[in-house]
Structure 1
Amino acid sequence: MSNIALSIVIPTKNRVEYAKICICSILNFEYNNFELVVVDNSDEDLLQNWIYSNISDSRLKYIRKNEFLTVVENFQIGIDNANGEYVCTMGDDDGLNPEIIELVKWAKKNNIDAVTPKFIADYIWPDLNHLKDNSTIGGTLKIKKFNNNFSFLNVKNGLNQLSRTCGMDLADSFYIPKIYYGIIKNDVLKKAKNEIGTNFPGVSPDLSGAIVASAYINKYCVIDYPIFIAGSSIKSTAGSSNLKKHHGSLNDQKHISRNAIVSWPKQIPNIFSVETVWSQSAYMSLKAIRRDDLVASYNFPRIYASLLMFNRSYYKYVISSFLFTFQKSIVLNLFKVLIEYINLIFRRAKYLILNLRNKFFGSALLYSEIHNIDQANLKLSEYLKRNNFSINKILYND
């Protein structure tokens, strides 16, 4: 490889206001053994002009792509140009704890293929003032309680669970490694690409990249310590979901390739929503890694129940896919959809109760008037230092 320990890959498009701050924040790290790979597919040259005028840092690898790219293509170019021993990907509105370099050193020393930090810190940019639960306002950094420990998980068991949930719970779960908000050996990613032809067989790079990498990972660790700060802005996917804009016709989604739309599995309703994007990505990725056993046991009733609960207006698409999938066993599988729907009601109730409990009795810290992700990074580092927290204390029992 080289002496680059970590490649931090950030695909970006038409979000210069966030990308500038994110780039500067990461290049402020005191470490020199990393590279920041920025793949810019913006319609205009605003970010390019700003970088050429303001940045002179050999750690930055800036790649300008003028031709139209899907989100998957943008991610793939970033991975293909990563030269570090380990790779992580993140958004241009996200934050990063510099201690990630210490985590990578430890992973290399212990021959660990992948490390996924738990979601502990999240930041709401000031331009996103209304979330779906009406409990958070823009300019807020939240730091949840964490346990300062790590554990090793069996990736094979994780893939079995993914087949049951259709990948729809991966955002809040850690049963398989993550390439987005996670760290994976570059050798693993290159082997997967060589054998499959892509690191991202599905329309969601987050999920499909995680599944494909999991097929080649032996030693996987989850750490309960804040490494990434998940950012939400008005232009982000999280922002679109919170503002209920993350749904619609597949043909209207320019960031999804025409080939993906044409080859969309008939068992999954051909609409654009969180549920269909994640389930399509999981399904296509399991096929790509030749896990026919998990494809055969894929829990389609879970998808239909989720859509009926959260995107009820698309019920005709759900019925069409249901009849295609279960034409020989309609009654039995109607019952399975009903069971999944009831389970979703209970999970939803549990989620709301936990939210209320955390709102009034939770131990999460909230910092307001945080104007950008760099300030959020500094506030997190300040919090960790003030409380004598350190990644090395966890990893080496210091």
Structure 2
Amino acid sequence: MTLLSVVVPTHNRADYAISCIAAVLGFDAPDLQLVMTDTSTDRRLYDMLHAEECAFLRDPRFVYRKIDEPSNLTKNHNDALALASGEYVCVIGDDDCITSAAIDAARWAVACQVPIVSQTVKATYAWPDFRSQLARGGHASRLYVPRRAGTARWRDGQSDLGAALARAFQATDGMPRCYHGIVRRDLLEQVRDRTGAYFHGSSPDMSGAVAMACLVDRYCEVDLPLTIPGVSGGSNSGRSAMNTHKGELSSETQTSGFEDRGWTAGVPRFFAVETVWAHAGLETLHRLDPERATGFNYARLLALCRIRHGEFDAAINQAEREASSIRGQAMEQDIKRAIQGERRARYRYLLRRALKPTAANGRRYFAKLETVLAAAHAYEQYATEKGFRFETVIQSIDR
């Protein structure tokens, strides 16, 4: 019986994906499954996997599906998750991998009937092609790791949903995540039964987190890496780090289909991290718990867009009018106060960076790692040396 399905959608990123496959299948765990849907048009990954010297397709734990019909990010995630058979699911990107702690977490969750095990992400790998505006190439080929393992705690999904609404769904930190988290698959099946799909909107990671927060009261969070998120030059994270992850809705397959169906009122009609997160979170919430959507912080979303994406002023103005209509009152003063707050937060961040003016910013890292497979090996060796064990961390939780 499959315990944990690691679900990985991919598209035209063969060099990342092949390393991800090697890293996940490298764990000696017969109850582990890797599911990958491939919507690539270049067919490079397909050819790699079908090469005579490649043994991955002969591993019974690997489910690979080549999809040739037109798709987008959300549909690819929905198609991939539909192939999973594990009792628990962990969704990651094609430039990421899991740690052995993810398998241990799933085994503990089954034994203790815990619906979700989430993490405070403390291990990150930057591929050689990763660049950012502040550090430029300083992060490239590095694996950042925690200096110590922390504790475990119970969290409340409803409270976390309220906090996420106040943040305008900006990032999934502090939420019950199926993206880089361990989630019981029947919860995701409930979402599909009620709404017609596992994920909605233009950001599957935000959609999944909001859906889980709607369904789960108590879940577990651990201060231990269950996964190693990778950031690469061509990824959304990589483009965001260079402030190039923006444009018209029609310019990205991630959002163009949703523009045709009708974009969410009150969310500016352009493509950026802030708008994509808000769109996916609200679209999911409208299907599962629409009354909670009244708590969404439109002022913060619009403030962030004005600060970071002033070139889309017309779209932001239109969204402000829509948000004012939804709220039943003008938003101008609320947005001004939010802008002041966001600028103060930015100044504090830049001051902290100035005190430690290096790419690492005081963090522990391993350098010269060319793939996520190498990063996975380096992390497991480091975790063994440091005594990072899921069983130890989970002992701190009150059963």
TM-score range, shorter chain: over 0.9
SS at match of 2:229: strand
List runs of 5+ in structure 1 lacking aligned partners: none
Q: Is this contact kept in 2: 1:145–1:363, CA < 8 A?
A: no
d(CA) in 2 for partners of 1:220, 1:315: 40
d(CA) in 1 for partners of 2:63, 2:298: 42
**Aligned-pair Cα RMSD in Å:** 2.1
How far 1:95 moved relative to its partner? Answer: 2.3
How far 1:324 moved relative to its partner? Answer: 3.0
SS at match of 1:215: helix
How far 1:311 moved relative to its partner? Answer: 0.8
Aligned match of 2:146: 144
Aligned match of 1:301: 299
Q: Is this contact kept in 2: 1:120–1:145, CA < 8 A?
A: no
Deviation digits for residues 269-316 of structure 1 (CA, Å, limit 9, x no counterpart): 111111111111111111011231x22232111111000111111122
Counterparts of 1:67-216 in structure 2, within 5 Å, are 67-128=69-130, 130-134=131-135, 136-170=138-172, 173-174=173-174, 176-216=175-215
Counterparts of 1:308-327 in structure 2, within 5 Å, are 308-326=306-324
Give me the TM-score of the superposition, normalised by structure 2.
Answer: 0.93
Change (3 A) 1:356 1:229: farther
Change (3 A) 1:106 1:327: closer
d(CA) in 2 for partners of 1:189, 1:327: 33
Deviation digits for residues 98-135 of structure 1 (CA, Å, limit 9, x no counterpart): 2211111111111111111111111111122x312216
Aligned match of 1:390: 389
Detail structure 1 runs of 4+ shifted over 6 Å in the superposition.
Answer: 328-331
Counterparts of 1:215-254 in structure 2, within 5 Å, are 215-254=214-253
Change (3 A) 1:327 1:295: closer
SS at match of 1:272: coil
d(CA) in 2 for partners of 1:295, 1:23: 38
Q: Which amino acid aligns with 1:32?
A: P
Q: Is this contact kept in 2: 1:93–1:233, CA < 8 A?
A: yes
SS at match of 1:200: coil
d(CA) in 2 for partners of 1:154, 1:358: 35
Change (3 A) 1:158 1:35: same
d(CA) in 2 for partners of 1:41, 1:289: 29
Deviation digits for residues 314-355 of structure 1 (CA, Å, limit 9, x no counterpart): 122111221233269898521100111111012212222333
d(CA) in 2 for partners of 1:317, 1:6: 43
Change (3 A) 1:147 1:391: same
d(CA) in 1 for partners of 2:251, 2:235: 17
d(CA) in 1 for partners of 2:198, 2:335: 32
Q: Is this contact kept in 2: 1:203–1:260, CA < 8 A?
A: no
Q: Is this contact kept in 2: 1:120–1:146, CA < 8 A?
A: no
Q: Which amino acid aligns with 2:191?
A: A
How far 1:66 moved relative to its partner? Answer: 0.6
SS at match of 1:256: helix
d(CA) in 1 for partners of 2:18, 2:320: 46
d(CA) in 2 for partners of 1:325, 1:332: 8
Q: Is this contact kept in 2: 1:13–1:42, CA < 8 A?
A: yes
Q: Is this contact kept in 2: 1:146–1:224, CA < 8 A?
A: no
Deviation digits for residues 155-192 of structure 1 (CA, Å, limit 9, x no counterpart): 1111111221111132xx21x21111111100111111
How far 1:396 moved relative to its partner? Answer: 4.2
d(CA) in 1 for partners of 2:327, 2:45: 55
SS at match of 2:50: helix
d(CA) in 2 for partners of 1:257, 1:312: 21
SS at match of 2:100: coil
Change (3 A) 1:333 1:60: same
d(CA) in 2 for partners of 1:255, 1:333: 29
Q: Which amino acid aligns with 2:147?
A: K
Moved more, 203-212 or 384-393: 384-393
Aligned residues between the structures: 391
Aligned match of 1:275: 274
How far 1:357 moved relative to its partner? Answer: 4.3
d(CA) in 2 for partners of 1:203, 1:285: 10
Q: Is this contact kept in 2: 1:199–1:213, CA < 8 A?
A: no
d(CA) in 2 for partners of 1:328, 1:39: 39
Q: Is this contact kept in 2: 1:201–1:288, CA < 8 A?
A: no
